[in-house]
Amino acid sequence: MRIFILLALISFPSFAGVWFDMEAGKEYSILQSLSLPQRERSGSFLEVVKGEKFVLKEIIGIGMGLGLFNFEYKSCPGPEMETEVEVYPVYGTSPLVEIGAMVAVNCEFWVYVELKDFWTQSLFE
């Protein structure tokens, strides 16, 4: 029984945390891949691959019941890269939580989360 509890505790950090618990300055890995439409190339997509690293720069309340998680995108293809905002489901949430995501100039990865969802599973670990 103790071994089972120990294994559960060791494996716990591999699960995603909640949005509210994320801290500025820490590095996180994205838990699912995203395909973001590029602004400058019609029909082209920037593929954000599961496991890529991001550093949380800040969390900003932007009104309208939204929070903005501003990350440094460690695998950014270039500082001029920009994408459109796309809405994605966060896998494994019930009820289903959706977020908005985009890449802005200077390799910033923006994730929009409704304030009501701050206590749900995040897109990062």
- Tens of pLDDT along 23-43? 999 999 999 999 999 987 777
Residue 29 included in any domain: yes
Token duo for residue 4: 């089972």
Range of the domain at 105: 16-117
Residue 43 lies in a domain: yes
Residue 8, domain member (yes or no): no
pTM: 0.85
Residue 46 lies in a domain: yes
Phi first, then psi, for residue 80 (nearest 5°) are -90, -5
Distance (Å, whole) CA 108 – CA 81: 9
In a domain, 4, yes or no: no
Q: What is the domain count for the chain? A: 1
CA distance 113 to 99: 5
The tokens for 103 are 């890449």
Phi, psi of 2 (to 5 degrees): -65, -35
pLDDT in tens, 66-94: 999 999 999 999 999 999 999 999 999 99
